[in-house]
Amino acid sequence: MANHKTRIAVFCSGSGSNFKTIFHDLKNRHLQAEIVLCLSNRSNCGAMEFAREKGIETVHITEKEYDSFDDFATTMVKCLKDHNIDNILLAGYMRKVPDAVVTAFPDKILNIHPALLPKFGGEGMYGIHVHTAVLNAGETESGATVHFVNEEYDKGRILLQKKVPVLPDDTPETLAARVLECEHILYPEALQKLLDEQNS
Q: Which residues are catalytic?
A: 113
Contacts of 40 (CB under 8 A, 6+ apart): 11, 12, 13, 47, 48, 58, 59, 60, 61, 93
Beta bridge partners of 145: 113, 161
What is the CB neighbour count within 10 angstroms for residue 195?
A: 17
Q: What are phi and psi of 44, to 5 degrees?
A: -120, 30
